[in-house]
Amino acid sequence: MSRGREARAARRQAQFAKFRIAELNLIPLVDTFVSIVFFALTTSTVGELSPIVAGVNLPSSRVGSVAHQQVTLGITNTSITLGDKTVMGTGQAAQARSNLPNQPLVIPQLYAALKETADSIRKVKKVPEGESIDVPLAIQGDKGMRYALMSRMIQSARLAGFRTLSLQVNKTEVAVASPGAGN
């Protein structure tokens, strides 16, 4: 080959070198994905359903997840319980007036019980006073209760320091409609 021809070939090779297909090693990529899936499956926590407070008739739901370790607030037609201890009557809670300025929805007796529970959790977990706690509060409200009372209870729980609230329901099976049904 002549020198001119070799020089042209070298220029072409240099020009098209950037278009060469690079090797992609898939084994480390697959190993990474397998590791991620493995850790996701082994570290996911599945809690147990907390016991339903006696006298509470929970509403039903078609979607939901299993409850984790939490504090339970039960609301029946007659009473409000925190854990297994009766705090006050439902009628009392509905008629209670807030004693906190700028917080008209707070139920004082319920707030005091929730604050006492939150403070004991803060003490055990060494969380500074006034900060929210990460332990969830599960509210089991009777399906016939009034939303106004529920919102007052949620406000009382938030001010007491509970950051995570959940409303518990009975899980029912999802009804699958067949194609063309209902037409």
Confidence of residue 179 (pLDDT cuts 50, 70, 90): low
| 3-class DSSP assignment, residue 82 | strand
Q: What is the pLDDT of residues 66-104, one digit of tens each?
A: 444 788 888 888 889 988 888 999 888 888 888 888 888
Beta strands 170-171 and 71-75, pairing class: unpaired
Rounded Cα distance, 146 and 93, in Å: 12
Mean pLDDT of 156-180: 76
Q: What is the pLDDT of residues 29-51, one digit of tens each?
A: 888 888 888 877 777 655 555 66
Question: How distant, in Å, are the alpha carbons of 104, 111, 122, 154, 166 from that of 130?
Answer: 20, 14, 9, 17, 21
Spatial CA neighbour of 116 closest among 162, 182, 183: 162
| This prediction's pTM | 0.57
Q: Which residue ranges form the domains of the chain, and what is each CATH number? A: 3-43 (no CATH), 60-171 (3.30.420)
